[in-house]
Amino acid sequence: MYFPENYKPLLTQHETEKAIKDAKDTFERSLSGALRLSRVTSPLFVPAGSGINDDLNGVEKPVSFSVKNLCGEKMEIIQSLAKWKRMALADYKVKPGRGIYTDMNALRPDDDIDAIHSIYVDQWDWEKVIKPEERNLDYLKQTVRSIYHAIKRTAFLLEEDYPVLHDTLPEEITFVHTEEAASEYPDLTPQEREKALARRYGAVFLIGIGYGNPPHSGRAPDYDDWSTETENGYHGLNGDIIVWDTVRNDSLELSSMGIRVNKEALVRQLEIRGMMERKELYWHKRLLNGEYPETIGGGIGQSRLCMFLLHKAHVGEVQASVWQDEARSEAKSKGFTLL
Concerning whether 225 is annotated as a catalytic residue, the answer is no
Selection from 235, 239, 244 nearest residue 299 by Cα: 239
pLDDT at 56 over 70: no
Concerning whether 108 is annotated as a catalytic residue, the answer is yes
Structural domains of the chain, count? 1
Selection from 121, 93, 122 nearest residue 108 by Cα: 121
pLDDT at 217 over 90: no
Q: What is the DSSP letter of 260?
A: B
Residue 120, in any domain of the structure: yes
pLDDT at 231: 78
Residue 227, in any domain of the structure: yes
pLDDT grade, residue 183 (50/70/90)? very high
Selection from 274, 261, 301 nearest residue 83 by Cα: 261
Q: List, edge to edge, every strand of the sheet that includes 73-77.
A: 45-47, 73-77, 64-67
Cα dihedral 14/20/23/24 (nearest 10): -140
pLDDT at 83: 86
Concerning whether 54 is annotated as a catalytic residue, the answer is yes
Mode of pairing for the β-strands spanning 203-207 and 238-245: antiparallel
Selection from 160, 168, 151, 181 nearest residue 257 by Cα: 151
pLDDT at 230: 86
Using CB atoms within 10 Å of the CB of residue 256, give its burial: 0 to 12 exposed, 13 to 18 middle, 19+ buried: buried
Residue 326, in any domain of the structure: yes
pLDDT at 216: 82
pLDDT at 55: 66
Q: Of 59-73, 133-147, 306-320, which gets the smallest average pLDDT?
A: 59-73
Residue from 54, 76, 194, 222 carrying the catalytic annotation: 54
| Euclidean distance between CA atoms 218 and 173, whole angstroms | 23
Q: How far is CA 218 from CA 11, 255, 335, in A?
A: 36, 14, 38
Residue from 179, 240, 245, 294 carrying the catalytic annotation: 240
Residue 69, in any domain of the structure: no
| Model confidence pLDDT, tens digit, residues 67-118 | 999 889 999 888 888 889 999 999 999 999 999 999 999 888 888 899 999 9
Amino acid at 85: K
pLDDT at 54 over 80: no
pLDDT at 63: 85
Residue 38, in any domain of the structure: yes
Higher pLDDT, 232 or 147: 147
Residue 134, in any domain of the structure: yes
pLDDT at 2: 85
pLDDT at 192: 95
Residue 59, in any domain of the structure: no
pLDDT at 58: 55
What's the mean pLDDT when you consider all of the chain? Answer: 92
Amino acid at 47: P
- How many other C-beta atoms are found inside a 10 Å radius of the C-beta of residue 214? 7
Residue from 118, 123, 303, 319 carrying the catalytic annotation: 123
- Could you tell me the residue range of the domain that residue 159 belongs to? 13-45+80-333
Distance of CA 208 to the CA centre of its chain: 14
- How many other C-beta atoms are found inside a 10 Å radius of the C-beta of residue 308? 26
Residue from 42, 76, 86, 108 carrying the catalytic annotation: 108
Residue from 111, 114, 253, 330 carrying the catalytic annotation: 253
| Model confidence pLDDT, tens digit, residues 185-202 | 999 999 999 999 999 999
**What percentage of the chain exceeds 70 in pLDDT?**
98
- What is the mean predicted confidence (pLDDT) over 276-300? 94
Mode of pairing for the β-strands spanning 203-207 and 174-177: parallel
Q: Is the distance from CB of 23 to CB of 305 less than 8 angstroms?
A: yes
Q: Is the distance from CB of 243 to CB of 169 less than 8 angstroms?
A: yes
Concerning whether 277 is annotated as a catalytic residue, the answer is no
Concerning whether 256 is annotated as a catalytic residue, the answer is yes
**What percentage of the chain exceeds 90 in pLDDT?**
77
> What is the DSSP annotation of 129-184?
E--GGG-SHHHHHHHHHHHHHHHHHHHHHHHHH-TT------SS-EEEEHHHHHHH
Question: For the domain that residue 322 is a member of, what is the CATH number?
Answer: 3.30.930.10
Residue from 32, 118, 256, 302 carrying the catalytic annotation: 256
CB neighbour burial string for 187-198, b if at least 16 within 10 angstroms, e if fewer = eeebeebbbbbb
> What is the DSSP annotation of 174-243?
EEEEHHHHHHHSTTS-HHHHHHHHHHHHSEEEEE-TT-BTTBSS---TTSB----B-TTS-B-SEEEEEE
pLDDT at 140 over 80: yes
